[in-house]
Amino acid sequence: MKITAIETYIAGNPWKNWLFAKVFTDEGLYGVGEGTINYFARTVETSIHELKPLILGLDPFQIEVISQRLVRDVYTEGGQTHMCAVAAIEIACWDIIGKATGQPVYNLMGGRCHEKLRAYANGWYRGPRTPENFHEKAKDVVRRGYTALKFDPFGSNWRVVTPYEFDLSIDIIRAVRDAVGPEVDILVEGHCRFNVPTAVRFAEAMAEFRPAWFEEPVHHLNIPAMVEVARRSPVPIATGESFSSKQQVAELMSYNCVNIFQPEPLNLGGLFATRKICDLVDAHYGVVAPHSAQGPVCSAACVQLNASLPNFYIHEIFDEFNEPWEREIVTNPVEVKDGYIEIPETPGLGIDLNIEEIRKHPYRQENYLPLFRPGWERRRSNG
């Protein structure tokens, strides 16, 4: 079997353009992948087509060779934009392998470790940044059956905050805890906003509400700062979604102070690289909650990955809180029932693209999440 062609498609979701790929073979099989990133959708799409000549004619089963061709051999450090392009191709190859063997991808990565996957809701808190809005929206999430939910209460703050903004952020966390009760996990998202002193102050103030984690309170590339916060915080620190290499992961893991890791399969170049990183985290007695805040193909790929992980913690879900047409652009979208995802048994990823529906939602440059602009929580297009 040989790779013969790659096609790309963009669906213009108002808060993030979703980039998908199809990899075709000479035996009639094709696979689907995703390379979504927050802003540079066209850049990643161009990268896919620039990389394409390096793997045309290769066997899609040769995942390691394909990855080395696309990463090592170009001798360029392209970070997330480069690795998202690689991931779109690599994930599609896994889909092909699953279809060719008649197996779901998780059976090709060690087999299924879980009957179902516990999920946490994200993207549910669209609306004004008030404790009242977060309180009511959180109640709705729990009514849907979720036992965990994540949110960023910090508005557009960056590095330091005023006393008013500090108190408002803590009031929002308090309101969510009051809404969901003591048995539901709340996960607090930091989006790399703060410096060390501010992050530690927030961690100490939110501790009484018992968050399951405080995510990326400082910038992900400042590993010493992340380590310092993790050692001083009374709340567990989670991080890792923004890393684009296993070397970054290895450096953080060497400090033995962060035990909740969130690898993003798209930023890391695909499923096989992420699977190996999850094993590295397991070697350090950590758990993994792979980042899954992109489009529906990434969600399906993360289900396959998470099903194979003995140290899986919890699965991120935006899908239920995205645009309603998301369910129309793919077949067999990931579904959550009573807070859990049923693991499919269909070959490959178990999902396909509806190209006709995707074309109804074209790319728009203003479709991205402006995390440091007031009102970003509303998740509207910036046009």
Whether 82 is a known active-site residue: answer no
- Please state at what angle helix 271-283 crosses helix 246-253, rounded to 10 degrees: 10
- Give the separation between CA 255 and CA 383, rounded to whole angstroms: 43
CB 57 within 8 A of CB 2: yes
> At 188, which helix (H) or strand (E)?
strand 185-189
Whether 361 is a known active-site residue: answer no
- Give the separation between CA 264 and CA 354, rounded to whole angstroms: 24
Paired tokens of 181: 């009760």
One-letter amino acid for residue 279 of the chain: D
Paired tokens of 157: 């703050």
The DSSP code sequence of 11-30 is EEETTEEEEEEEEEETTS-E
- Give the separation between CA 204 and CA 218, rounded to whole angstroms: 15
C-alpha distance from residue 330 to each of 20, 109, 224, 383 (Å): 11, 24, 41, 26
Contacts of 332 (CB under 8 A, 6+ apart): 300, 344, 346, 350, 351, 352
C-alpha distance from residue 103 to each of 93, 195, 367 (Å): 13, 46, 36
> At 121, which helix (H) or strand (E)?
strand 116-121
Which residue among the candidates 135, 220, 284, 291 is catalytic per the annotation? 291
CB 14 within 8 A of CB 323: yes
Q: At residue 90, what are phi and psi to the nearest 5 degrees? A: -65, -45
Contacts of 216 (CB under 8 A, 6+ apart): 189, 190, 191, 192, 226, 238, 239, 241, 242
Place of tokens 């952020």: 169
Measured in Å, how far apart are the chain's first and last C-alpha atoms?
45
Which residue among the candidates 191, 284, 315, 361 is catalytic per the annotation? 191
Q: Which residues form the catalytic set?
A: 191, 291
